[in-house]
């Protein structure tokens, strides 16, 4: 029996048709700006988000770190949510690569409110680190894939314009937010000076993200991409996979969302487990396991012994992420395993 891998939507593998597209890709040297497949994809994504330009990059982490570098100087401060990917999962990259200080604020299901950001902006005094960037994450991973509401994002944007502080969006899973709400990508992008989006999660491409913003921003970003080691050569092979993913795998993200809710509903009513159903908005389910009396490691091993793979999350929870390589039947089997283990 095959393992059901619910650790992340990053474990997806390219389909045969995607691989065929990769093999046919027209390529050139992208550091010289001569890869036609990359150039087409960059133009397409820039138009999709109604921004000036875009830059193909290896990973979402690199995109976020390039953005921080492009907006700041050493000694500056960047406001982030305390469970954001930038703060938790990028190995202190902002301090190492940009010499900046991150100011983490507690969010509400990943959302930072304009009022709390206002209070966190440093007064203009030479002995305080100047606030130079506000970062948000949509969907928010550690909040269970929750979607940030546009009305509050708009209020944060009004604040950023008044204070002349740019905003960057970690939109690694913004595609999921768009699929769930029906809102076009440009609606979310309109409130941010720059954003990064990922092709290698729910969309199923093997590698690649895109950094999107103004022409001036992308010009700076291109330089920092090279400095950070992200200058790639005949990378149209990967860009073609990303283009295929946009063409064929965006609409089907709704299936992942349906499967996540199917899983969450299947585990409802089990006294040893708790799920905040308000968090189940896209393709993630965070399961509180304190009631089992077991550690995260013990629960994950029990699941692995039964061919179910998940990851630890927060203090006493585990996380499941649905994706294109997991079927409804797989989710049903996962529910059966949970019921057998945690009656």
- Can you tell me whether residue 184 is helix, strand or coil? coil
pLDDT 10s per residue in the chain (343 long)? 789 999 999 999 999 999 999 999 999 999 999 999 999 999 999 999 999 999 999 999 999 999 999 999 999 999 999 999 999 999 999 999 999 999 999 999 999 999 999 999 999 999 999 999 999 999 999 999 999 999 999 999 999 999 999 999 999 999 999 999 999 999 999 999 999 999 999 999 999 999 999 999 999 999 999 999 999 999 999 999 999 999 999 999 999 999 999 999 999 988 899 999 999 999 999 999 999 999 999 999 999 999 999 999 988 999 999 999 999 999 999 999 999 999 7
Note whether residue 171 is domain-resident.
Answer: yes
Q: Which of 206, 232, 248 is the last residue of a domain?
A: 248
pTM for the model stands at 0.95
Inter-helix orientation angle 36-48/236-248, to 10°: 40
- Residues 224, 311, single domain; the answer is no
- pLDDT computed for residue 293 by the predictor: 92
- Residues 243, 296, single domain; the answer is no
- Residues 296, 158, single domain; the answer is no
- Residues 131, 241, single domain; the answer is yes
Measured in degrees and rounded to the nearest 5, phi and psi for residue 34 equal: -110, 15
**CATH (domain of 19):** 3.40.640.10
- pLDDT computed for residue 32 by the predictor: 94
> Cβ distance 79 to 130 under 8 Å?
no
- Residues 162, 280, single domain; the answer is no
Inter-helix orientation angle 16-24/236-248, to 10°: 140
**In what helix (H) or strand (E) does residue 162 lie, and over which residues does it extend?**
helix 150-163
- Residues 152, 286, single domain; the answer is no
Note whether residue 140 is domain-resident.
Answer: yes
Note whether residue 6 is domain-resident.
Answer: no
Measured in degrees and rounded to the nearest 5, phi and psi for residue 182 equal: 80, 0
Cα dist. 149→86, 154, 156, 243 in Å? 20, 9, 11, 28
Measured in degrees and rounded to the nearest 5, phi and psi for residue 111 equal: -95, 130
- pLDDT computed for residue 64 by the predictor: 98
- pLDDT computed for residue 314 by the predictor: 84
Note whether residue 3 is domain-resident.
Answer: no
Nearest partner of 90 among 202, 173, 170, judged by Cα: 170
Note whether residue 108 is domain-resident.
Answer: yes
- Residues 225, 315, single domain; the answer is no
- pLDDT computed for residue 2 by the predictor: 85
- Residues 40, 140, single domain; the answer is yes
Q: What's the number of domains the chain is made of?
A: 2
**CATH (domain of 285):** 3.90.1150.10
- Residues 279, 260, single domain; the answer is yes
Nearest partner of 62 among 93, 101, 30, 83, judged by Cα: 93
User: What is the 8-class DSSP label of residue 98?
Assistant: I
Domain extent, residue 304, equals 252-341
- pLDDT computed for residue 315 by the predictor: 84
> Cβ distance 209 to 199 under 8 Å?
yes
- Residues 233, 268, single domain; the answer is no
> Is the N-terminal amide bond of 139 cis, ω within 30° of 0?
yes
- Residues 201, 132, single domain; the answer is yes
- pLDDT computed for residue 215 by the predictor: 97
Q: Which of 248, 283, 314 is the last residue of a domain?
A: 248
């Amino acid at each position: 029996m095959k393992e059901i891998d619910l650790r992340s939507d990053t474990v997806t593998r390219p389909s045969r048709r995607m691989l065929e597209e990769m093999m046919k890709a027209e390529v050139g040297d992208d550091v010289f700006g001569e890869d036609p497949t990359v150039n087409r994809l960059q133009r397409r994504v820039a138009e999709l988000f109604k921004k000036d330009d875009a830059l193909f990059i290896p990973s979402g982490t690199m995109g976020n770190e390039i953005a921080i570098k492009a907006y700041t100087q050493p000694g500056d401060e960047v406001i982030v949510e305390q469970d954001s990917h930038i703060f938790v999962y990028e190995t202190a990259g902002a301090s190492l690569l940009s010499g900046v200080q991150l100011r983490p604020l507690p969010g509400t299901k990943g959302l930072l409110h304009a009022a709390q950001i206002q209070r966190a902006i440093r007064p203009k005094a030479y002995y305080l680190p100047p606030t130079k960037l506000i970062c948000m994450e949509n969907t928010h991973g550690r909040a269970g894939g929750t979607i940030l509401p546009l009305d509050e994002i708009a209020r944060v944007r009004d604040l950023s314009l008044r204070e002349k502080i740019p905003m960057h969006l970690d939109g690694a899973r913004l595609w999921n937010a768009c699929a769930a709400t029906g809102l076009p990508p440009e609606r979310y992008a309109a409130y941010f000076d720059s954003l990064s989006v990922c092709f290698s999660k729910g969309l199923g491409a093997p590698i690649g993200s895109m950094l999107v913003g103004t022409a001036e921003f992308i010009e700076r970003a291109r330089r920092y991409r090279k400095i950070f080691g992200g200058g790639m050569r005949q990378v149209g092979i990967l860009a073609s996979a990303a283009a295929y993913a946009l063409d064929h795998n965006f609409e089907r993200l709704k299936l992942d969302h349906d499967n996540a809710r199917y899983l969450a509903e299947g585990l409802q009513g089990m006294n040893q487990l708790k799920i905040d159903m308000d968090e189940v908005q896209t393709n993630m389910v965070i399961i509180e396991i304190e009631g089992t009396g077991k550690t995260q490691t013990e629960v994950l091993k029990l699941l692995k012994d039964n061919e179910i793979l998940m990851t630890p999350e927060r203090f006493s929870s585990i996380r499941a992420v649905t994706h294109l390589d997991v079927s409804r039947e797989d989710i049903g089997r996962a529910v059966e395993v949970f019921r057998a283990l945690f009656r």
